[in-house]
Structure 1
Amino acid sequence: MAAEYTCIHEEQIQGISRKTAELEARADYKEKRIEELNDKINNMDKKLDILVQGFNDFKVDSNKGDVELELRVKTIETDYQNLKEKLKEKEDNEQKRFNNKMLMIGAALTVITIGINILFNIIH
C-alpha cells in the first residue's frame, strides 16, 4: 500500500524548470549571435588587412614615383644650367669676335686714312 504523496513545491520546481529552459534557449541564441558577430569581425579584419596592404602598396609606389620625379627634375635643372652656361659662353665668344672685327676694321680704316693722307701729301 503505497501512499500517494503530493509535493507542495512541484509548481515551483516546474516554474524553475521552465525558466531554466528559457534561459538556456536565450543563452544558445546569444551564443550563436556572438559567433556570427565574431565571424563578421574576422571578415572585416581580413578586408581591413587587404585595404591596409593596398594603401601600403600605393604609398610605396608613390614614393618610387616621387624619387623618379625628383631625379627627372634634377636632370632637367642640370641640363638647364649647362645650356645656360653654354649660351653665356657663346655670347661671350660672339662678343669677342665682334670686338676683334671692329678692331680689324678700325685698324684697316686707320691704315686707309694714313695711306690716303700720305697719297695727298705726295700729290700736293
Structure 2
Amino acid sequence: MKLNTSKRKRFRVSNKVKKVASNDRYRLSISRSSKNISAQIIDDMKNITLLAASSVEKDIRTGEKINKTELSKIVAEKLAKKAQEKKITKIYFDRGIYKYHGRIKVFAETLRKNGMEF
C-alpha cells in the first residue's frame, strides 16, 4: 500500500519519537487546521490519551475575535495547567507533518514557559 506525502511525513516523525520514548516521558501530539489547533498527551506504552486540549472547546472560544497565534498560546497554557495537575513535566514533542515554525513554535515555547520539558 502506497502512502501519500502527508501520511508518510507523519509516520516518519512519529516513529522517530516513539523509538526514543521511555516509560518516564509521554508524547505530545499536535494537529492544526486552518482555523483551529489541538494537542494531546499520549502514553504509547498503554496506547491511551492522558490529556487533551483544543481551540474548539467552549471555555476557550469566546465571542470576540482572537488571532490564531494567540489561540495557540491559550491552548498551550491550558494543556500545561492540566499536565501540572497530573504531575506530567517531561514529554516528547511530536510535531507531526508541521514545520517547527509559526503557530507550532509559539505553542512549544508557551509550553516551555509553563514548566514542560522536551
TM-score tier (shorter): under 0.3
Higher relative contact order (CA 8 A, sep 6+): 2
- What TM-score, normalized by structure 2, do the two folds share? 0.18
Higher strand share: 2
Larger radius of gyration: 1
- What TM-score, normalized by structure 1, do the two folds share? 0.17
